[in-house]
Chains A and B, each alone.
Chain A
Amino acid sequence: MTAVDSMRPAIATVRAVRRETADVVTIRLDHGDRSDAFEPGQFHMLYAFGAGEVPISVSGRPARGGGVEHTIRAVGATTRALCRLRRGGTVGVRGPFGTAWPVEEARGRDVVLVAGGIGLAPLRPVIQRIIAERELYGRVTVLYGARTPDDILFEADLARWRGRFDLQVGVTVDHADASWRGHVGVVTTLLTDVDLDPDACLAILCGPEVMMRFTAAELEARGIPRREIWVSLERNMHCGVGLCGHCQMGPELVCRRGPVYRLDHVGRLLGVREV
């Protein structure tokens, strides 16, 4: 019997490695025809030989050449092993798994994307998609909060996005010394400068749960209904396909019904202790 084994990784080759910050690396993977088969917001389970496997969101397509990019922060043994990979290296890939950002629902609307920390990575493919079909969207705003100026991801992309007349881009950091000439303050403070039309706007949030909660509260205070706010949740994942039970949040199996959720579907679970 040759059933598809969803727990068996495919082998992918590392085509390029780009260091983003001291502890974040973007790797471009090529696993043949399947490299392109993802929707913005979905994740792969990446396996570093012998070290372990972790869920990593797709962070976009490379500017040129094929393959798919993942942006990884070295926080543990497996992610450190993935960050140590060199060009030509090999990694196991399962997926893509999980739900996607509402790119189609966003067409014809104003889109506000708010990212915190490594949360910019899962939003990058949405931004790339929006730019590729820019005429289909209304006003598009990208707000990004990082810990310090040294932690800012995708600086080249941010510079390019800022240079466009059809994107409003705001960047802020939580902590900086006097050499930083940009904005200092939490990411919600950037919203003050954004002209929001509650009837036309769809918001996409990605970052630590606390950051998304406060951003969502600010957006709601500005009149945007919960059904127009989308978030991406983080839970422990082992299988990625709803079979191992680890990623439960209340009734949700986050890997299968998420990680991308409409806020009105999970909002009652955000901020609930130990759910």
Chain B
Amino acid sequence: MPRHRPIETALAEHPFLAGLEARHVELLAGCARNIRFAASERIFESGGAADDFYLLRSGRVALEVHVPGRGPVTLQTLDPPDVLGWSWLVPPYRWQYDARTVEATAAFALDGKCLRGKCEDDHELGYQLYRRFLPVVQSRLQSTRMQMLDVFAASPAGGDAP
């Protein structure tokens, strides 16, 4: 029988949770499970209930939006050790985009619904999670703004050149 390491140990080693106190890791472990997705598998869909988030361990996930007439457009890809999903923190707790694996992916799935309650009970845990999620939000926002600038376009301001 293969020996499994306790999930606390593996969670504590994930860079997203680096520095978290042991008691909080333990709390998280109570809401966490190992999960694997095949390539091209849908992880969640926009509008669905955002009750989980994922700490990526291997593979690649694409965040997509479906544009009528164009099909799925990839907004960003996430690679380990990225975190996937923060809609579970923000009411009304619905996914904004679609998440689909580009290749076979392994992750920890954390039960956000359960964690929301734990954060209410333990604001220190809430603070620790928020301070890890805010940089994620900032970096996604930054990337989005850069993409909006479309700096590699032939004529960013629509003019002609020599």
- B77 at the A interface (CB under 8 A): yes
Given contacts A75-B155, A147-B150, A208-B152, contact A54 B71 (CB under 8 A): no
Q: Which residues 209-226 in A have Cβ within 8 Å of B in the complex?
A: 210-211, 214
Given A184-B62, A211-B146, A214-B146, A177 contacting B152 (CB threshold 8 A) = no
Nearest residue, chain A, Cβ from B139: A189
Min C-beta distance of B83 to chain A, whole Å: 12
A-B contact pairs, 9 of them (CB 8 A): A79-B162, A117-B151, A146-B152, A174-B147, A175-B147, A183-B60, A185-B76, A185-B147, A208-B151
In Å, the complex CA distance between A211 and B146 comes to: 8
Which of chain B's residues 37-93 have a Cβ closer than 8 Å to chain A? 60, 62, 64, 70-77, 79, 82
Asked whether A77 and B162 contact (CB < 8 A) given A175-B73, A181-B103, the answer is yes
B120 within 8 A of A: no
Answer whether residue A168 sits at the interface, using C-beta atoms and an 8 A cutoff: no
| A76/B73 contact (C-beta < 8 A), A146-B152, A174-B152, A207-B151 known | no
Q: How many residues of A contact B (CB 8 A)?
A: 39
Determine the distance from Cα of A189 to Cα of B144 in the docked complex, in whole angstroms: 11
Flag if A177 contacts B73 (CB, 8 Å). yes
B161: CB under 8 A from chain A? yes
- Which residues of B are found within 8 Å of A116, using beta-carbon distances? 151-152
Contact between chains at A210 and B151 (CB < 8 Å): yes
Q: A210, B149: Cβ atoms under 8 Å? A: yes
Binding site for A on B (CB under 8 A): 60, 62, 64, 70-77, 79, 82, 100, 102-103, 139, 142-143, 146-147, 149-156, 160-162
Report B-chain residues with C-beta under 8 Å of the C-beta of A151: 152
Say how far B62's CB is from chain A's closest CB, in angstroms. Answer: 7
Q: Mark contacts of A158-181 with chain B using CB atoms, 8 A cut-off: 1 yes-contact digit, 0 otherwise.
A: 000000000000001011111011
A73 to B155, CA, bound (A): 11
| Option from A78, A193, A210 in Cβ contact (under 8 Å) with B146 | A210
State whether B154 touches A183 (Cβ < 8 A).
no
The answer to whether B74 touches A76, judged by C-beta atoms less than 8 angstroms apart, is no
Which of these, A147, A176, A208, contacts B74 with CB under 8 Å?
A176
Q: Is the CB of A189 within 8 A of B151?
A: no
**Which of chain A's residues has its CB closest to B153's CB?**
A147
Does A26 belong to the interface (CB within 8 Å)? no
Chain A hits for B70, CB < 8 A:
177
Closest to B102 in A: A181
| In the complex, residue of chain A having the shortest beta-carbon distance to the beta carbon of B147 | A174
Q: Which residue of chain B lies nearest to A186 when distances are taken between CB atoms in the complex?
A: B146
CA distance A100 to B82 in the complex (A): 37
Give the docked Cα–Cα distance between A192 and B140 (Å): 13
A53 to B162, CA, bound (A): 8
Q: Answer yes or no: A96 CB below 8 A from chain B CBs.
A: no
A-B pairs with lowest CB-CB distance, top 9: A117-B152, A147-B152, A208-B151, A76-B161, A186-B146, A75-B161, A184-B77, A178-B72, A184-B74
**B47 shortest CB reach to chain A, Å:** 19
A52 within 8 A of B: yes
Contacts of A78 in B (CB 8 A): 162
Q: Which residues does chain A contribute within 8 Å of B102, judged by CB atoms?
A: 181
